[in-house]
A and B are shown apart, each in its own frame.
Chain A
């Protein structure tokens, strides 16, 4: 177990390193115009050169990379160029993350409470009317382009329930729609996987044995099948918790929530390279750490998972 954790940690650090380096190098390959924003045409050659020097972009790329890592270790993510010129990115993030975190955590709790039982119920009544309606609903939510779905939720729910279209941190009623929109997607995802894993488990031998022994159906469902089906779900939980820091790109932008998700769209549209770089790195790091924690959690929850010779699965 310990060996596995150490190995997995090293792996995660290695991929983090590779991904950060790649992203850094890729962003340096962009055309020069990207570094100056809209004013590129108005600047003379000398101004451009001095601006580049000021940002440390005239040095060889490897020196830049080393500098970047040095600063990163010190917790300095650099300064914003265009979004808020020369303002430390760490400070910008500090002011943004709490909003995303609050909304994300509430909607995650909500979707776990709603989605997992929903999936479990659908598995219990497989093939019945309720299951069919649920499956159709999930198919529609999964298939629709997210942007379209979110737009319609915002458009119609706000007029039906007389809710505000925009977010206001002081009025709790304006929190309902963003939370609902985020939850809608994750409820469907949770319900879909829960249903699938439970149905997989229903056909297994241990369930047949338990049934033959005379275990009551309800007890079998909740004590035996539910527990086993939940293990693969647990793998995604740490990732979901962590990504609440990022927030939802669509929802935050739609409802003008001053969180990190909307920020990404903002800085992409304004071509603020350092900000894009930082946010992308943040996303990647959260993805990697989330997967890592998920694997560990799954190993802790399920004693059958051994991890010796994991890749040797032929």
Chain B
């Protein structure tokens, strides 16, 4: 993208300072002219004379930051500024680091030594009885579930599945939503039709579409992802469409079009960078949304098959047992992981979108 939007973001110089610069420049020009021989116009050299000049007379100009700064160059970069702003937010900084650690751990967990398998049913080696509902202990850190599977391993396996679903759904929302939104906003003929279609679809509660698609397709990771993707792109497309309509006919686009820029390039280079903030927010919120939807679908009986560990399934398994106080850990551990991940994504998404908004850049 066009990274250097320096014109608008340079700190304003005070008038006197500017004036000083101009005066200095004029004086320097004057001195130059004096050195050339008292106001006489220097005559041009012929090419032979130039070739005959001694190279030792010349030296490469060295980069001087202060000097460069003086002629309106700024090393402002959009992304650097965005990350700087984001990094300044303490809560977001702490959350993103811990979120990365948790996610990295979730995906690397099977590689650590001494981990149990999430599916194996553990039996007591002496008696051969299933280790059902074992409270958290040194061997099984989160205890075992109702059929003797290791809850620690299941929680991380579930996190992997749920985060994977979230990422795929967010990515699909991003790609489908942005492409459709762009076309919808940019092409006037499509706009009318699409708006009508959107009005009809948006009338139906999204949860309902989600329920209906999952009900018809039956459980499985692919179908659950599909049903969430069917619902998810609409909000994004609508946002993008509104933004495109706002920026489409601004002067800079008009100029660009007059210069013969192709439509695709206008979309990608002129329009898309304006919407980074909105797009990032929507994408970041799609992940906790998808995790929440998965929990919801499982709760109403349309989730993944129970053999598949996912945060939704684990929460649902824990819910069944929650009335027994000593088994409550089976609800609390997966719920805590789900809560941490969703809240972290939510807050990070909001913080990043604030930081990505050029209005908040200095």
Task: Verify if A131 is at the interface (C-beta below 8 Å from B).
Answer: no
Q: Which residues of B contact A129 (CB under 8 A)?
A: none
Task: Verify if A163 is at the interface (C-beta below 8 Å from B).
Answer: no
Q: Across the two chains, which residue of chain A brings its CB closest to B191?
A: A311
Task: Verify if B102 is at the interface (C-beta below 8 Å from A).
Answer: no
Q: Of residues 94 to 144 in B, which have CB atoms within 8 Å of A's CB atoms? A: none
CA distance A106 to B360 in the complex (A): 42
CA distance A23 to B215 in the complex (A): 12
CA distance A257 to B9 in the complex (A): 58
CB pair B331–A144 under 8 Å, yes or no, is no
Q: How distant is A272 from chain B, measured CB to nearest CB, in Å?
A: 11
Q: Which residues of B contact A11 (CB under 8 A)?
A: 199
The bracket for how many chain A residues form the interface is: 35 or more
| Residue from the set B208, B249, B315, B335 with the largest chain A CB neighbour count within 10 Å | B208
Q: Residues 1-41 of chain A: 1 if any B CB is under 8 Å from the residue's CB, otherwise 0?
A: 00000000001101100110001001101110000000000
CB pair B208–A250 under 8 Å, yes or no, is no
Which 7 residue pairs of A and B lie closest in terms of their CB atoms, listed nearest first?
Answer: A143-B346, A145-B292, A269-B301, A145-B295, A15-B200, A288-B203, A143-B343
Q: Which residues of A contact B208 (CB under 8 A)?
A: 280, 283-284, 287
Task: Verify if B195 is at the interface (C-beta below 8 Å from A).
Answer: yes
CA distance A14 to B203 in the complex (A): 11
Task: Verify if B76 is at the interface (C-beta below 8 Å from A).
Answer: no
| Residue from the set B192, B203, B249 with the largest chain A CB neighbour count within 10 Å | B203
Q: Which residues of A contact B258 (CB under 8 A)?
A: none
CA distance A40 to B200 in the complex (A): 36
Task: Verify if A205 is at the interface (C-beta below 8 Å from B).
Answer: no
Interface of chain A, main secondary structure: helix
CB pair A29–B216 under 8 Å, yes or no, is yes
Q: Which residues of A contact B331 (CB under 8 A)?
A: 151, 155
CA distance A27 to B248 in the complex (A): 41
Q: Of residues 107 to 148 in A, which have CB atoms within 8 Å of B's CB atoms? A: 139-140, 142-148
CA distance A12 to B291 in the complex (A): 32
Provide a sorted-by-A list of 27 A–B residue pairs whose CB atoms are within 8 angstroms: A11-B199, A15-B200, A15-B203, A19-B203, A139-B347, A139-B350, A143-B342, A144-B339, A145-B295, A145-B315, A145-B339, A146-B292, A151-B315, A151-B331, A155-B331, A250-B296, A253-B299, A265-B299, A265-B300, A265-B301, A268-B301, A268-B302, A280-B212, A283-B205, A284-B203, A291-B202, A291-B203
Q: How distant is A219 from chain B, measured CB to nearest CB, in Å?
A: 30
Q: Which residues of B contact A287 (CB under 8 A)?
A: 203-205, 208
CB pair B215–A250 under 8 Å, yes or no, is no
Task: Verify if A46 is at the interface (C-beta below 8 Å from B).
Answer: no
Task: Verify if B181 is at the interface (C-beta below 8 Å from A).
Answer: no
CA distance A146 to B212 in the complex (A): 19
| Other 5 A-B pairs with CB < 8 A, given A15-B203, A265-B299 | A143-B347, A151-B319, A264-B300, A268-B300, A291-B202
CB pair B248–A314 under 8 Å, yes or no, is yes
Task: Verify if B322 is at the interface (C-beta below 8 Å from A).
Answer: yes
Q: Which residues of B contact A301 (CB under 8 A)?
A: none
Q: How distant is A159 from chain B, measured CB to nearest CB, in Å?
A: 9
Q: Residues 177-192 of chain A: 1 if any B CB is under 8 Å from the residue's CB, otherwise 0?
A: 0000000000000000
- With A19-B200, A139-B350 in contact, is A268–B296 under 8 Å at CB? no
CB pair A26–B212 under 8 Å, yes or no, is yes
Q: Of residues 261 to 314 in A, which have CB atoms within 8 Å of B's CB atoms? A: 264-265, 268-269, 276, 280, 283-284, 287-288, 291, 311, 313-314
Q: How distant is A199 from chain B, measured CB to nearest CB, in Å?
A: 14
Q: Residues 333-355 of chain B: 1 if any A CB is under 8 Å from the residue's CB, otherwise 0?
A: 00100110011011100100000
